[in-house]
Chain A
């Protein structure tokens, strides 16, 4: 049985971040992008907790994890509100349709 080390956790965090970032880049659905952002935030949470456990000790990492979850909730609320607003404006939540900031 392999004892999980810091590297394993970091690989998991990196995979999560990569998956989330790819989700953000490729999804055309706005809600999908928000979900990708959740993945990126949770990748950060994994790193916080892992570093706390193997490097720093104490509870500071877990505290940051809790804060990030709260922040993610708030972000999701604001993000969904923006998506609703986008939908009301463009009658679609496809981000490729939202290109008013073009030259």
Chain B
């Protein structure tokens, strides 16, 4: 059975409101701000977000009223292109998965918009900030609501653009402008992979069809481009078969329910995809790998994570919205959305999970030693995204998405909390110059503590449920494979173990940041900071050196997010406790047809509970270690450890020199290549062009000479000859009639003489 579609032709309103807000602020923002002040600017932006959120909740209500299998709302706006078997529609769709994303995006974005009215209050380019922010939400909604790859890709590129615009928001600071550019360029690498994967998928789907309308896999794909005019058995069993970029159609084609051999709806495409190879590599693995490269770019995984820590150059609300809660989860969303595709290739799943696992531990260790509060959070985000990829990689799709969901709240809360701290400390980001803020900023401190507990996986906070579900599922996955190694049943437990270490690290560095910031004595303020690194000058009306609590619109947002980070737990209470499926998993089920077919090994309930207890214990250990080392900042152990192992610290503090490594192997060669190209351009290409020019000029000169002397000479000579002969001949014209008669007589005589001479 194909997915039933419920038409909802008002879905476009959800992205339309932020688009309108961005348009208004882009066109009139500066004028409005000058004339009526900043209130009107943020009224437009926040108003657009509230409207969009309202429609999103209406869509949720509509969807909630439908049967689980029928939860698919679609809004076809207009067809963009129809070429061969490619049907390109500008259409929005909501299924339970994208519904979750839309709700997270609209709600968190609304809160962050409100927060920004406080945080960005002294910013002169206020309107530009809100324009970008609204535009970002629009692009992000396009990404998650796209009915097909094309619309998703518009959003995918759009969020990249907005991310660039917001990271280098203070573009007068060269470092920040560079950070924006870095994010943009690194993402290009990923986007390239995404596009290749997409083309590969489309190409493979346009394969060979036999008369029985089964997908025929006997012809090799290698080196042959299947004609676009392949037979398309339309609407076989109601499922359109063949090349498609529609998620829904792809899902129906690849749905494991439809692809069991012998069932009437066996359309054979899954078999085709898994059997086809390109130069010996399974094509499905290549497709998933390239798509995953796209995900690593957007979601900051190894090897493309390097842009995210630098992205902290942007304003803190941007870090919270784009670089923690929404945009960076696009890769996770994409893998979850294509679960039916990734599930076909255990090798691709293995790669996804392994990369996620490595990123989780790698980023966590860097986070240990950072002093910039935002950098700690950035590496924490990278690490948590790694956890999400472990989830979607092992096949625990709902757990990965649930972690995305809970992470959106607690990480947004942490970032906004750090923003509140930074603002309270007059734009100081170095945690060594903070401390003792508990009493001065109680609301920020409380919410930060709650979010720390959530991310560290304390059992009464949502982070525990999502992270633990991921680790539990990783422990139970023996179905993963790795390229070159074949089936690797040991991989799942290994990932679990490494993930556990990363979870320990998470708890440690988060509480380290909490203790350094909020406990002990205030270490800043003695020296006066005149707007340090950031370009927006300290334009606060007051110049108190004491840290102060942030305004209400900021702290209330923090409280709301902390509450959400706590409340989200009710959606994911594990099966081992209650005996029935978590609400979140149940809700996502229609979007994740592959999830039910992942062969997780059975773990006894006791083992499951034991694993949970272990991970809580690990989290508590991390917390405890941080408490011992950093509570009140009195312990001298950290300093002594640093003195004892300076080299280790140096390597990790400098982020394992990955940036320098990339600089050496990618950027330098690129620059050298640039020089070579420039030289070739300057000397060879320009030389060739000049040579051609020279040759043409020589020919032109020769041609000109011929024209001037030969052709013109002939023409002039003709004229001259006619004039000259005329001048001579006209003397004959005497005007005396008798002269002419002499001529006539002479002529007659000549003829007479001729008559005698010639004719005789």
Binding site for B on A (CB under 8 A): 21, 24-26, 95-96, 98-103
Contact = CB atoms under 8 A, between A and B. Distances in A.
Chain B residues touching A, majority SS? helix
B736 A95 contact: yes
A99 B738 contact: no
A47 B406 CA distance: 140
Nearest to B731: A103
A62 to B, nearest CB: 29
B735 A98 contact: yes
A100 B733 CA distance: 11
Contact of B745 (A25, A96, A98, A100): A25
B730 A103 contact: yes
13 contacts: A21-B745, A24-B738, A24-B741, A25-B741, A25-B742, A25-B745, A26-B738, A95-B737, A95-B738, A96-B736, A98-B736, A102-B735, A103-B731
Interface of B: 730-731, 733-738, 741-742, 745
Contacts of B735: 98-103
B733 A101 contact: yes
A99 B742 contact: no
B745 A103 contact: no
B663 to A, nearest CB: 95
Contacts of B745: 21, 25
A103 B727 CA distance: 10
Contacts of B734: 99, 102
B733 A25 contact: no
> Can you list the 8 inter-chain pairs with the closest CB atoms, starting with the nearest?
A102-B735, A99-B735, A101-B735, A103-B730, A103-B733, A99-B736, A25-B741, A25-B738
Nearest to A97: B736
Contacts of A102: 733-735
A96 B737 CA distance: 8
Nearest to A100: B735
Contacts of B730: 103
Nearest to A21: B745
A103 B731 CA distance: 7
A20 B14 CA distance: 121
A24 B738 CA distance: 8
Contacts of A100: 735
Nearest to A96: B736
B553 to A, nearest CB: 109
A103 B730 CA distance: 6
A78 B245 CA distance: 106
B687 to A, nearest CB: 65
Contacts of B731: 103
A36 to B, nearest CB: 10
A58 B738 CA distance: 39
Nearest to A101: B735
B744 to A, nearest CB: 10
A96 B594 CA distance: 125
A26 B745 CA distance: 13
Nearest to A27: B738
A38 to B, nearest CB: 16
A44 B738 CA distance: 21
